[in-house]
Amino acid sequence: MNLSNEKNKVEILIEHFKKSEEGLNLLKYVENSKLPQEQKENLVQFLWSKILREQTILKPLGHEEDMPEHLTCPITFESFSDPVLTDSGQTYERLAIENHTKKNGYFDPCTRKPLKHQYISNLQILWAVQFLKKKKKLHLQFIEAIQFE
């Protein structure tokens, strides 16, 4: 059972390393070497952990369209990275509302009410966006780990 599991890992490693000539040469060396079986298994395990780490940690977080509408700026339609609350009660991305007020004057782009020159950081929205991104990242890591098992 353990040998077939290692063989499956080697097959996945070969598929991964086909994109990388250096990795493919390394894998061929391990397969064709006269190393003791235990050393081969250790090398395969090392390569396996390296690929698993690359596949899960470097995986993108997901598409912006997956972000709920209430966590996106109504000006840029992107998820918030520095949300601010205006005195009219609307939340915008800081740079987006600052650019809007420089170009168009100090009024709310959604409500058209006059705006004051200061904004309050909306930490609740920021934390919600960060939480959702972290949750998506963990979900993608979990899916990738299951695919490799």
Average per-residue pLDDT in the chain? 75
Total length of the chain: 149
Answer whether residue 97 shows pLDDT above 70.
yes
Q: Which residue in the block uniquely carries the two structure tokens 């972290």?
A: 134
- What per-residue confidence (pLDDT) applies to 60? 45
- What per-residue confidence (pLDDT) applies to 73? 93
| pLDDT tens digits along 38-95 | 877 777 677 666 655 555 444 444 444 468 888 999 999 999 999 999 988 999 999 9
Burial of 43 per CB tally in 10 Å (0-12, 13-18, 19+): middle
Mean predicted confidence (pLDDT) in 33-39 = 80
Helix (H) or strand (E) holding 38: helix 37-57
Give the span between the Cα atoms of 100 and 88, in whole angstroms.
15
φ/ψ (deg, to 5) at 107? -145, 150
Residue ranges covered by each domain of the chain: 3-59, 64-139
| pLDDT tens digits along 11-27 | 665 666 555 556 556 66
> Could you tell me the end-to-end alpha-carbon distance of the chain, in angstroms, rounded to an integer?
14
Answer whether residue 5 shows pLDDT above 70.
no
Give the span between the Cα atoms of 52 and 13, in whole angstroms.
10
Give the span between the Cα atoms of 44 and 60, in whole angstroms.
26
Which class does domain 64-139 fall in? alpha beta
